[in-house]
Each structure stands twice: as structure tokens, then as C-alpha cells.
Chain A
Amino acid sequence: MNASLLCLALSSSYAGMLALCLGTERHWKQLAAAAPLSLRAWCRPLGVLLLLLALLLSLQIWPASMALVGWLGMLSLCGLVLLLLLPYAPRLALGLPLLGVLLAPVFMLG
């Protein structure tokens, strides 16, 4: 239970960072140049929402004060993973949250 929650919280904070990243002109051009430009404006609010979702999820894992610490740590590390994936594996950078969401039920079984 805890592992799958953690997996979801990580996926959601990574997706949030990814959305914030897509919100910038430079990275929109790099990753989503083919998509309609009108979508870009939605990236930032979506990113903030996803980060809040990650906070809600970490509140399920830890008591409130610890959740805040864990949440900040997860955001930082997910941002760093994204940063490292961007130049080397941009496709994986886009698909990683999906992988996380698919993995979460696997942990639930185990």
C-alpha cells in the first residue's frame, strides 16, 4: 500500500515538474513543438495542480509535518531527474509519469 502510494506521489510530482517545464517556451519547443501552441498556456496551472496532488498523496504516507519535508524532497529530486533526462532521453522524459502510474498497482499486489 505504502509503496504504491509512494510511487503515485513520485509520478505526480514528476508530472507536475514536467508540466511546469513544458510551460516554458524553450522546453515546449524542444518536447512538444508538434502540439498546438494553445495548449502551452494550460501547462503551468496543470503543473501546480499536479504538485498539489503530490502533496495530498504524501499526506497519506506521512503525518503532516513529515509529509511537507518528504514532498519538498520529492519535488527536488523529480526536477533533477527530469533535468537529466531532457538532453539524453527526451521521449522517456515525457513518458516516465505514465510508467509510474502503471507501476503503482503492481506494488499494491506485491
Chain B
Amino acid sequence: MSRQPSLTQSMSALHTWAGLVLGWLLFAIFLTGTLAVFDRELTWWMQPELQDRQVDQASAVQVAQRWLAANQRDASAWNIGLPTARDPSLSVSAGEQRRGQRTLIDAESGEQITPRETAGGSFFFRFHYTLHMPRFLGIWVVGFAAMAMLVAIISGIIIHKKIFKDFFTFRPVKGQRSWLDGHNASAVLLLPFHLMITYTGLVIFFLIYMPAATDALYGGDRDALLRELRPDAQQQQGARRGEGGRPSREVQTASAAMLPLDHFITLGEAHYGAGMLSSLSVAQPGRVNARVEVRPLLGSRLELTKGEALAFNAITGELLRAPPPTRTSLLVQKVMAGLHFAQFGGYPMRWLYFICGLVSSAMIASGLVLYTVKRRRQSAAQGVWLRQVEWLNLACVGGLMLACVALLWANRLLPADLAEREGWELRVFFGAWLAALLHARLRAPLRGWLEQLAASAVLLLGLPLLDLLTALAVPDRIRLGVDLTGLGLGALLALAAWKVSTRPTATVRAARRAPAAMAEVQS
């Protein structure tokens, strides 16, 4: 035997340290990413003032057109966010789309609605890739964690010797053995998902993580690269600047009667399929050069079709520009991004991603717990370090879950007209997390786990009740879905809390069974 550590040993050390140090971050990234699968639904849940009128897009767009014609007749552009299956709200804005303040209107009566301000489900989405840090710093930290995840996955495959023999093996109530089984099985069975989601997550920000090629070939001018990748984009922007950007010079343009906007919904659906449109915009509404753009939902293909549109002449209905096919190099990146964002395949696919994401988060958490379970048995000398890891584990896993539910409760319990309401919701989120951190530091590990799991479970189980008591109307399809999902997750956490509370007896049982288990292993 040489004194150099074997491949398995060094890989094991790598797996342990990459997993432990970044596991805390990775759990936060995976859990919030999983919740972000249903970001629109959560935002809808968090604005109970809005109601699902169940009108089709053609009649909704007429309502929007009437509102805009009455209130924004002279605007340089109109933008209409259409009601969709995931978000049945109808929104309108005037002027440049990015800057304009969105106004929500009732899809039936056309009255303006002012829902409560909220961080919304999009908070989870932003937290997922920036960790609520300044954008670029956050993206770099998350990218670093994702690299560590890849390292942990590959080193994990190397050190897991019996991948196929233990493929379906899970032996509960055996302490460390069970944790290892659970960690292995959730990692191996979902390996395609873990690899895909981590790798594609890195590819989304390829320009930020790997700028060398852009620097070398385009002198660091990222726009130059993008122009070459999408020649039509430049044209499109130029055209938009010419038509919509300087309204003052074009005031003289003669006015003309536009076709009713629902006509373009029909045209758009003919191209993208029924129910696949997300928004419609009109440049120079009511003028002879008026132009309508219809944008699809990001979901008709695997490729992430962001920014794509069909353009029509608003007076004659003539098709001005159809989106050109994407170049292969960009298509690869867009398909990768599409795989990560999961905007395709409808609700069945969304649920697959959600459950896979939950299992991934559980896999990471089980790895973190496994570390402490293993060390606890090994030696008492590491007591101080072990104690630190134990409370950090609890604060990062149990604390984050608690904070996420607390955000939903804060959304409904804070007064609806509170100033800077969004900020207060986030204060509750981070406040709950901080409280969980202190709690984790002060309590004995098992006690702490029990209490935090139970608290999250109670809050989740109470979610339907909270919705019933604080919503203004009977929960619609989407809100009911959020309520029931909360109920299900609450039941899972309650089960986990119950397992923790019965754990001492379990160890005794395991100890009693130990000789039998040894015999089983040897056979």
C-alpha cells in the first residue's frame, strides 16, 4: 500500500467538502428554484384582489383596447398582457414596455384594479439565481455553487461503488445506513435530472461565466456578438426605434382606423396554436403606420423563445415579419435554457420538474445531515466543529423552509395598503430565517429540528385556512392548487417532524436489530 490516498479516498474527501461547504447554498438555490417552477401561480395566490374571469383572449383584448382608447389615446405604443392559463390577469400599459407602469384591469368589466403590492412568486425566481445579492455577485456565487454541484455529482458517482446493486435499496430505521441509502437512491435515480438542471443552469449565463471568447473575438463588446447571433434583432430594434421611439416627430402622421385587435389574436393563434399567446403590443396606435406585434408564451417548443414576435400591419392585417429560425449555435443555448426554465409541455411537465426539484433539495439536505450523523459516530474530538455544522444545517434547511412559508403568511396578514409592502414581506422572510438561525444556535440539534419542522408543517397545513379567511372570494383553480400543494407539503413535513420526535426509540430499535442487520449484510 502506498501512502498516497486512493482515488476513492480523495474523491470522497472532495465530495464531502464540496458538498458540505456549498450544500448550504445549494439547498437554498434548489428549494427556491423548485418553488419558482410555480412562480406565476404563487404571484396570483399572493394577489387575492384579482379574479379569474375566465374570458378568452379575444374578448379580453377588446376590453383592453377599449380601456387604452379611452385612457391612452395619444400614447406612442400600447402593450397588453393577455390572460393565460397560468396567470388569468389582464394588464395594459402605454409607452415603452420596459418602463411603462402596468395597469391591471378587470377582464370582464374593464375597470381598473389595484391589487396589493407583493414580492410575489418572482421573489423565489430572483433569489434562485442571485440569492438576493447584487445581481452580478449573486450570479457568480450561484455559478460557483453550481460548479461545486457538478463536482459533487461526479465525485459521488465515483465513490458510490454499488450503483446498480443498490439501485432500489432503501433500508429505513437504521440510522446512518438509512441516511446513506436515501442520499444515494435520490441521487442515482434522479441523476439525469440533477445533471441536466445543474449544467443547463450554468449555460444560461454562458456570457457571464465564460467571457473569454467574447473578449477575444469581439473585444468584449457583447452586443456585437448578439447582433451577429441574431441579425434580425438589430433590424427589429432599429425599426422599433424609428417607429415608436420618437413620438414627437410623428405626431403629424395621419390617423387611421385599426382593425379590431382580436383579429390579431386569431392570426397569432393560427401561427402559435390556441392558448399559446402571452401578449400583444401596438406601435403608433390609431395612425396609418400602426403596427401590431403578437408574442407567444414561452412554451410551444423546447427552445426558450424569449423576445420572439409576429408583426402585422394594424390597418390592413398584413403580416410584416415572422420570426426567422434560430441559428444552430444559439439554438443549442436556447434549448439548454429552455430545458432549465421548463416553460414547455404544460402542467404535467411543470409538476415533473417541481417534484424532481423537491427530491433534489431533499437529496442535498440528506447529504448535509449524513455528514453530521457520520461524524457523530466517529469521534467526540470534533465536538465543537460538529456542533457548528449541526446548527448551520438546521438554519439553512429548516430555517429556509420556515422563511418561505412565512413569506406566504406575511403576504396575507400584512395590511393590504401598507406602504412599501413588498419590502415588509421580505423583512418577514429574512426575519423568520434569522429567528430560525438563532433558534438553531440555541436549541439542542434534535429538539431544534423537531420544532422548526413542526412550525413549517403547521404553517403549511394552515395555508388553505388562511386563504379561505383572508381571500375576498372563493378560491379559484390556481389558488386551490397552491392551497392543496401547501397541504401536501405540510403533511410531508409533519411526517418528518413525527419521525424526528420518535427517533430515540428508533435508535434503540436499530441497536437491538444491529446483529440481525450484520447477518443480513454478510449473507
Contact = CB atoms under 8 A, between A and B. Distances in A.
Q: Please determine whether chains A and B interact with each other in the same assembly.
A: yes
Interface of A: 2, 6, 17, 20-21, 24, 26-27, 61-63, 65-66, 69-70, 72-74, 76-77, 79-80, 82-84, 86-88
Contacts of B301: 63, 65
A26 B520 CA distance: 11
A74 B185 CA distance: 15
A63 B189 CA distance: 24
A80 B171 contact: no
A6 B192 CA distance: 20
B190 A80 contact: yes
Contact of A77 (B165, B169, B335, B359): B359
Interface of B: 165, 167-172, 185-186, 189-193, 301-302, 335, 339, 344-345, 348-349, 352-353, 355-356, 359
Contact of B352 (A2, A74, A80): A74
B345 A83 contact: no
Secondary structure of the A contact surface, majority rule: helix
B178 to A, nearest CB: 9
A79 B190 CA distance: 9
Max count, chain B CB within 10 A of own CB: residue among A20, A73, A82: A73
Contacts of B348: 2, 6, 61, 70
Of all A-B residue pairs in the complex, the 3 with the closest CB atoms, nearest first, are: A73-B352, A79-B189, A76-B190
A86 B56 CA distance: 47
B168 A27 contact: yes
A37 to B, nearest CB: 18
Given A76-B193, A77-B355, A83-B189, A69 B349 contact: yes
B168 A82 contact: yes
A39 to B, nearest CB: 18
Contacts of B190: 76-77, 80
B356 A77 contact: yes
A69 B345 contact: yes
Given A62-B345, A72-B192, A80 B172 contact: no
Nearest to A88: B172
Contact of A66 (B168, B171, B345): B345
